[in-house]
Every structure is written in C-alpha cells, then in structure tokens.
Amino acid sequence: MECPHLSSSVCIAPDSAKFPNGSPSSWCCSVCRSNKSPWVCLTCSSVHCGRYVNGHAKKHYEDAQIPLTNHKKSEKQEKAQHTVCMDCSSYSTYCYRCDDFVVNDTKLGLVQKVREHLQNLENSAFTADRHRKRKLLENSSLNSKLLKVNGSATAICATGLRNLGNTCFMNAILQSLSNIEQFCCYFKELPAVELRNGKTAGRRTYHTRSQGDNNVSLVEEFRKTLCALWQGSQTAFSPESLFYVVWKIMPNFRGYQQQDAHEFMRYLLDHLHLELQGGFNGISRSSILQENSTLSASNKCCINGASTVVTAIFGGILQNEVNCLICGTESRKFDPFLDLSLDIPSQFRNKRSKNQENGPTCSLRDCLRSFTDLEELDETELYMCHKCKKKQKSTKKFWIQKLPKVLCLHLKRFHWTAYLRNKVDTYVEFPLRGLDMKCYLLEPENSGPENCLYDLAAVVVHHGSGVGSGHYTAYATHEGRWFHFNDSTVTLTDEDTVGKAKAYILFYVERQAKAGSDKL
C-alpha cells in the first residue's frame, strides 16, 4: 500500500552509525535480546523483535504514541511518530498506523537507501563470516556448524523458515518440497517475474494485503522461497511474501491459526498446477515443460487440463473397480491422483512408539494393503447398479494403474468423532529406501523392477494431540545427509532418528540408478 506516514517517520540517515554491529538478520531486540525476527525503527534506528516473538517492535510504536505530559515536545518530536519499521531479514517495510506493508518511498528515496545499506551490512557480515570459517577450516578448529563428510570438512548450508504465527504447517511442506530435487530445480530455473512497473521496476516486490489478485503470483513467490533455501547465506528466511499470496488466493488459510499440513500441501499443489497452465513472462509453461527431457510425455498425468510439472512429478493414476454382489456387474473408473491417503488399521492403534513392546507394529505395507484390499461397501455406500437399475451391495478395490515419479503418502492420523477431531497417534514403521510398489500395480508385468522402487526423500511429522493445535516439523535428505527442519532451526540428524518419527506425510522418490537395498 501507499503509506502517507513516511515523511514524518523515516528520519534516520541511510548510513546511520547508530545501527548495531554485525549481520542485520542476527540483530538482537533491545528489550528481550532475542535475535528472532528483528525489526529496525526508521525513526530512531532502535531494534526490536516482531509481533510473533515478543512484540516489542509494536510496543515501541505504541509507547511512542503516549503524549509527553512532563515537558513540552519540540516540533521534531511531534512529527517523529516511530510508526514505520523494516524487517532486518527480508527488508520489507511495515507501517503500524496503516497496519500494512509499504511499497512507496519518501521523495528522497530514504527507505530504499536504508534497505540497500542493510543489505550491504548483511553481505559484509556474510563475507567476514565466510573468511572466519575458512580460517577455522585451515586451523582444523571447526565450530558447531561444521561437520565432516567423507573425511573433509564442510558447512551446513541449510536455511530455516521463520514462523510467522502458527505457520509451521507451511514451513514443513515447503522444506519437504525443496528437497525433492527434480521438482525444486524446475522452479528455481524459471525466469524471474517483475510484477510491478514504473518507479519500482527492477526492485524487489513486496506483496501486501491490499493488493489485488492480479498483482500476485504464487509460482513467483514459491520460486523465490525455493531459491532462498540451501544458499547458505542466512540461517533463516522469512516467507512472508509467499504467505500473503497464500492469503490472497487460498481464503481457507487466512489468519494465524494452526492448519492441516496435508490440506495446505494439496491446495498449494493444485494452485501451482492451475497457474502453471497459463503463460509466464511471455513463455508458455507447457513449452518449458516439454523442453525438459526428464519429464517426457509418457510420464505426464493430466489433472484439470494440461499437464504441468506438478502432475508430471506427483501425478499417478488409480483404477477403481466396483462389483455388484447381486448380478456381478463390474464397473471400472480411472482416477488421477497427486497423493494417496492411507488409513491406519485399527488393530495397530495401541502401539504408540517403535520400542513399545505390547502389540504388533504397524508398517507402511499394512496401510498400503488396507488401501488396496477388496472391501465390501456398507449400507451407507450402496452402489447404483446400471444392470439392476437400483442401489445394491457391492465390493470395491483400488489398483494403481500408473505410479508417479514422486509418491506422496498421507497417513490419516485425524478422524472425526461425534464431537471433535481426534488424532491417531500410532507409530507406523516405514522404510528409508527400497519401498517396493510392484505388488500394488494393476499390470506389474509391464513395469521394470527399477520403476517400482522408491527411496524416502522427506517426512512431515505432527507433534501434539489435535489438528488445530500442536506443531509440525520435517525431516529431509539432501546430498546424502538427513536434516531436521523445525521452523528457523535446522539440525543435522541420522537415519535412526528419522525412522523413529511418527510420520504424517511421506515423500518417496522413484529410484533411478540400480542399487542393492532391501525391499519393503
């Protein structure tokens, strides 16, 4: 939005010596000393934490609005309102009086000059940190962020995602998708889009809640977010621009309440698919897809129109067979899918951890078998038989007609009772490599052995008791190492820890090269 308060609130010099030392993204709040979500006041250059940490930046603004009764204010003090501040990580500008993000500037361009100065400070701090790490490597004195891989020292380059207020559901999905190499690389290689013209052309675009739907691009903000991850230039990235686009085009996710990560993933993939079907910066998305030799036409699965990278990678096909138990009439229908939702069989629901002794352990194969086994439909799901011309008892069975390149499996951990939605907290054992899907195929003889084997790429975990509460984190593998993504915190972990997780969503990638590993 165009803010009318910039002239009275932006008072600091762009190269102000009052700024703290070090990297702006790591500056500490002057009140609580937290370095999470630092914001700098553009009136007095003081640094405070954002509203989703302890809210001292907003309190700084509110305190400045209290009239000074003990002494007479000067003219400059009357004009200085402390209403505008800048995010020290994303460099977006926010006005508390307008209660929105700001896209305009002062006549002298002070906001942009401050932004450029903070970027220079960040780059200088990063360069100094890189030299420091190089010196540590040379001296063989590694800090906690350095580890050994194949005998040589290397740095953890993973980037976390800041929690904007119960947005862990979004962060877990974004981190998982960013580690699916073929999917991530496609978006990172797309050309950048400038959504604004005129005076702001060539500058970074900051989406606001007051902009129209025509001014936002989910694909572009998704691309920017993926590009920010794994660069190693910052410990955490703030996905606020992407989040506001989500607010614009996905009304179900407006607000700051906890959401279902699986539901968000489906909405995200569906909207990316729809937007990718259109043109992009004068280039047809379909032509970009066709130029990618690894996504050939034989691997495409069309959902709601033309194929895109979403359906080419996540798209599979189910065959649904329904048989009338009275006359034996068989009905077949083919349904495209982007993920499979699997029930956890009730006989396993008492076992809540891998090491718990009582009861058998539920495996992913048990869930897949329950999904594909022959099932007799109950009285509420009677099948309309066209031969009998009335609803009859029937059986139903699913077959997988075509497997996707990335198999996304959703374990149905939440179910409705008479009054509330409960969580199934059962531990489900899953393989980290060698998931064999051949026995679930409609025509397994037509598929090679390599095409049916899948290796785990990422896992989304829900911690807590209910879908409207709790916390989401993700595990993902990158260049042979497993990482745990907990919002802005990224830690190196091991396969044993991943295997003990109570998975909610599993992402399996089709194995390309031959490798000797156990099958499920």
Q: Which residues are the active-site residues?
A: 168, 471
Classify residue 422 as left (phi > 0), alpha (psi -120 to 50) or beta.
beta
Distance (Å, rounded) from C-alpha 448 to C-alpha 441?
12
Distance (Å, rounded) from C-alpha 370 to C-alpha 349?
14
User: DSSP per residue over 7-62, as a string?
Assistant: HHH--S-TT-TTSPSS-GGGPPPTTT---SSEEEETTT--EEE-TTTT-HHHHHHH
Greatest C-alpha distance within the chain? 94
What are the residues whose beta carbons fall under 8 Å from the beta carbon of 150, sequence distance 6 or more?
none
Distance (Å, rounded) from C-alpha 263 to C-alpha 245?
17
CA dihedral 27, 31, 32, 38 (to 10 degrees): -30
Distance (Å, rounded) from C-alpha 409 to C-alpha 395?
24
What are the residues whose beta carbons fall under 8 Å from the beta carbon of 96, sequence distance 6 or more?
58, 61, 62, 83, 84, 85
* Secondary structure (3-state) at 393: coil
User: Quick one: tokens of 253?
Assistant: 């996710």
Strands 406-411 and 340-342: what pairing? parallel
Strands 236-237 and 38-41: what pairing? unpaired
Q: How far is CA 486 from CA 67, 210, 491, in A?
A: 42, 31, 8
Q: Which residue type is seen at 330? A: E
User: DSSP per residue over 263-306, as a string?
Assistant: HHHHHHHHHHHHHHTSEETTEEHHHHHHH-TTS-GGG---SSSS
Angle between helices 218-228 and 168-178 (to 10 degrees): 70
User: DSSP per residue over 64-98, as a string?
Assistant: HTS---SSPPPHHHHH----EEEETTT--EEETTT
Distance (Å, rounded) from C-alpha 12 to C-alpha 14?
6
Under 8 Å between Cβ of 240 and 164: yes
Q: Which of 400, 512, 402, 414 is nearest to 457 (CA)?
A: 512
Under 8 Å between Cβ of 487 and 438: no
Under 8 Å between Cβ of 83 and 93: no
What are the residues whose beta carbons fall under 8 Å from the beta carbon of 168, sequence distance 6 or more?
258, 471, 472, 473, 487
Question: What's the burial of 300, exposed, middle or buried (CB within 10 Å: 0-12/13-18/19+)?
Answer: middle
